[in-house]
Amino acid sequence: MAVNGPATGYTLAERIKIPRSSAYDGLKDLLKQGCVVFHIDSDWGGVLEKKEYSLTVRGVVTALSLTDTREEVDAVAERWGGLIPLVLGKWNYLKNKVGGGKVYLRLGIATKAFLLTGFAASYEVLSFVPLTGPFPSDDEIVFTCLFYDPNLIVREYPNWIEVIKGDPDIRGFIIKILPSYKVHHDNWIKAYEKLMGGGLEEDHGVDPRVD
């Protein structure tokens, strides 16, 4: 599903060559973990119904944690970039700007941080990042913030300043969260002031998701 996209229990069983009962049991567990959601398609006037399952942000991040190669990471990013648009939706841009090795490492760090800290990370980030829509899920906000953690970026990847300034969506997101971090987390704002070198004041209010 991470590579091939949404599937019913039947098609999933066919894809990975397992009994249908095992596929449905696995999907039930993934539902409980918040890794998948489903919608019901109806045919023949509602007589026939089928559940099609797709990954959530948490499911995509979990899938990334299980990848073994860069090619697998690229495939997941291509398939599910719309769920985490400022990271996976910018994947080719990030690889070109940051460099392949560094950006894969950064994604791995964010993935581990998201999964290991779980709800604690969600609570901490969301408590001082009051970003309501158009973000469709809290997990998207949390993962995006973890990926662009300035404490790591400043220390490890100085060239990220060009990455952030070079994309209006990413830059807008950073600018959007600066006021909140300045109040609640001085380390973030100090790191970004060092990273960006000032000159952001005139950009406050930029919508981070404007196409």
The greatest distance separating any two alpha carbons of the chain, rounded to the nearest whole angstrom, comes to 62
Mean pLDDT over each residue of the chain, to the nearest integer: 75
* CB atoms closer than 10 angstroms to residue 201: 8
The amino acid occupying position 71 is E
Coil/strand/helix, residue 36: strand
pLDDT in tens, 72-125: 999 999 999 999 999 999 999 999 988 768 889 889 988 988 887 654 455 455
Contact at 8 Å (CB) between 9 and 31? no
Residues in Cβ contact with 194 at an 8 Å cutoff, skipping those fewer than 6 apart: 154
Residue type, 63: A
What integer is the mean pLDDT of 126-135?
A: 46
pLDDT tier for residue 209 given thresholds of 50, 70 and 90: very low
Provide the whole-model pTM. Answer: 0.75
Which one has a higher pLDDT value, 169 or 51?
A: 169
Residue 48 three-state SS: strand
Q: What is the pLDDT of residues 36-86, one digit of tens each?
A: 888 777 665 555 667 888 899 999 999 999 999 999 999 999 999 999 999
Residue spans of the domains in the chain: they are: 9-55, 60-203
- pLDDT value at position 71? 94
The two tokens of residue 88 are: 């996976």
pLDDT at 135 over 60: no
The confidence score (pLDDT) of residue 26 equals 82
Percentage, residues of the chain above pLDDT 90: 21
